[in-house]
Structure 1
Amino acid sequence: MSAPSHPFATREIYRIDWLPGTDVLHGTCHCGREHTCQDPVEMWEWMLAHPRGHQTQGNAS
């Protein structure tokens, strides 16, 4: 018998914060990588393209 699964157990969490007083968005991917830009479409494309652009640890792209 398999263990009961929690509904959020396998979900990926993406976070986008708006930096107050600016037009800058700061995103954090579920893998922990970070990205900063002004275009919300660019931010979501970067996040949903995971892992492309995420390979080098410590290099926010």
Structure 2
Amino acid sequence: MTSPTGEIYRIDWLPGTDILHGTCHCGREHTAQDPVEMWEWMLAHPQGHDVDEPRGNS
């Protein structure tokens, strides 16, 4: 999904699981089983992003 400001949010479903893997436009990554939790985490940027979470490669 691309936001009106051009940021790209990516959510992938991990096949064979109930796990969603999300990557925020800032590079932070998050996993969750609940799609609502995933979107709340992404849209809370940067407040919802814990500093100890790994950054993506983008």
Say whether the fold is shared (TM-score over 0.5): yes
**What number of residue pairs does the alignment pair up?**
50
Which structure has the bigger radius of gyration?
Answer: 1
TM-score, L = length of structure 1: 0.74
Other-structure match for 1:11:
6
TM-score, L = length of structure 2: 0.77
Equivalent-residue separation in structure 2 for 1:47 and 1:34 (angstroms) = 9
Equivalent-residue separation in structure 2 for 1:11 and 1:54 (angstroms) = 19
Q: Give a deviation string over 1:22-57, Cα, whole Å, max 9, x none.
A: 00000000000000000000000000000013251x
The aligned amino acid for 1:27 is G
Q: CA deviation at 1:59?
A: 1.6
Gaps spanning 5+ residues in structure 1: where?
1-9
The equivalences for 1:1-61 within 5 A come to: 10-54=5-49, 56=51, 58-60=52-54
Displaced runs of 4+ in structure 1, greater than 2 A? none
Gaps spanning 5+ residues in structure 2: where?
none
RMSD: 1.5
